[in-house]
Amino acid sequence: MNFDIKKIVRPNIEILKAYSSAKDEYTGEANVLLDANENSLGSPLTKWYNRYPDPYQKKVKEKLAFIKQIKAEQIFLGNGSDECIDILFRTFCEPGKDNIIICPPTYPMYEVGANINSIEIKSAPLLPNFQLNVAHIEQLVNEQTKIIWICSPNNPTGNSLDRIDIETILNHFNGLVVVDEAYINFSKQKSFAQSLIDYPNLVVLQTLSKAWGLAGLRLGMCFASDAIVKYMNKVKAPYNISMVTQELALTALEEVGQVNDMIAHLVDMRIALAAVIETMPFVEKVYPSDTNFILVKIPKATELYRYLLTQGIVVRDRSSLENCSDSLRITIGTEQENTALVDAMAKWIEFTFAND
Ligand SMILES: *Cc1c(COP(=O)(O)O)cnc(C)c1O
């Protein structure tokens, strides 16, 4: 491998003089703060929110560094991992010139991000067993390929991708390999966060939105080399993570034990729900899952989706995605919600296939 970050970053970002905030220029402990045009009198809320937040979220990163066993300098935080995805495009991909590789069916934000930024999308669909087609990916790579997007465990299929395949790509590709681990806490697989030292081209995405139960907070995490994080910091908005988010994230990150209990409970319910749905008549397949959702293949899936809506139950119809015909993605709910889903499905199956 011959990875050189200077050949990957956009030339305009390499030479960009980043915005220097008041908080960048003075970081000491002064008590007369007249440098940022804040309201010195206070706010209608509490006295602290009149100040701008820490632009680099130092306390949150220190806590995360401890939990993830990496350096704080290897962490970039975004307004959800969706912001991390966008910043990766804007930092490394030249509009109208560079390309990226995606492996559908997968999380649609990689494609949306590429389209927003006018980046060409090359597609190496997952194999029928929903694993990576490494040979196809290698065929697609050219001089302008900047990022290969890999989602493991994958949304919407639920499976983890073969670690050896991901390592092969990391070893042979001279651009960035983003491994989106939004669902890693539900999986028995090891995170790639501990492999940053082995791969200068590795970027790992995680989030507080799923296992941590904080989708409303909007905090996405990106783990990568110090050099990659430095470039991303140049591109982000100076105060992209609000003070409220930083405070609440710090509080939540104290509760690793409680979160682990929720993860165990959700995994138990996933196994139970998959077992029940698997035995229902006409269900073709419940795909193995390492996440907090299951993908279910059933004839007339879109009709079932519409019926469930009439019962006040919303699942995700993924039938239009590659290799996902007649498939619904179902998030694991509470015990009560899962029961409601199973009852409604059973009823629909009974009257829909009554004459079959
Ligand atoms: C849910 C999800 C995310 C999370 O995005 P946030 O912006 O952090 O809420 C990222 N990637 C995948 C694959 C997801 O399914």
Query: How many domains does the structure of the chain reveal?
Result: 2
Choosing from 237, 254, 271, the residue where a domain stops is 254
Are residues 75 and 154 both part of a single domain?
yes
Percent of the chain with pLDDT over 70: 99
Are residues 214 and 346 both part of a single domain?
no
Are residues 111 and 231 both part of a single domain?
yes
Q: For residues 159 and 261, give the distance between their C-alpha atoms in angstroms, rounded to a whole number.
A: 22
For 215, the domain range is: 5-254
Alpha-carbon distances, residue 198 vs 28, 72, 332 (angstroms):
36, 17, 35
Q: What is the pTM of this model?
A: 0.96
Are residues 31 and 146 both part of a single domain?
yes
CATH number at residue 287: 3.90.1150.10
| DSSP character string of 284-350 | -EE---SSSEEEEE-TTHHHHHHHHHHTT---EE-TTSTT-TTEEEEE---HHHHHHHHHHHHHHHH
Averaged over 63-91, what is the pLDDT? 98
Are residues 265 and 245 both part of a single domain?
no
Query: Do 252 and 214 contact (CB within 8 A), yes or no?
Result: yes
Phi, psi of 123 (to 5 degrees): -120, 125
- Taking the centre of ligand 1 as the mean of its atom positions, its distance from the CA of residue 182, in whole angstroms, is 6
Are residues 40 and 97 both part of a single domain?
yes
Choosing from 224, 239, 254, the residue where a domain stops is 254
Are residues 262 and 215 both part of a single domain?
no
The response to whether residue 82 sits with its C-beta less than 6 Å from ligand 1 reads yes
- Atom 2 of ligand 1, residue of closest alpha carbon: 182
Q: What is the DSSP letter of 20?
A: -
- Atom 14 of ligand 1, residue of closest alpha carbon: 182
Q: For residues 329 and 158, give the distance between their C-alpha atoms in angstroms, rounded to a whole number.
A: 9
Segment 258-282, tens digit of pLDDT: 999 999 999 999 999 999 999 999 9
- Taking the centre of ligand 1 as the mean of its atom positions, its distance from the CA of residue 81, in whole angstroms, is 6
Query: Do 159 and 169 contact (CB within 8 A), yes or no?
Result: no
Do the strands 99-102 and 145-151 form a parallel or antiparallel pair, or are they unpaired? parallel
Are residues 172 and 284 both part of a single domain?
no
Segment 305-319, tens digit of pLDDT: 999 999 999 999 999
pLDDT of residue 24: 82
Are residues 194 and 327 both part of a single domain?
no
Q: For residues 81 and 25, give the distance between their C-alpha atoms in angstroms, rounded to a whole number.
A: 28
* Helix, strand, or coil (residue 77): strand
Are residues 111 and 248 both part of a single domain?
yes
The response to whether residue 209 sits with its C-beta less than 6 Å from ligand 1 reads yes
Instruction: Write down the mean pLDDT value for the chain.
Output: 96
Are residues 237 and 316 both part of a single domain?
no
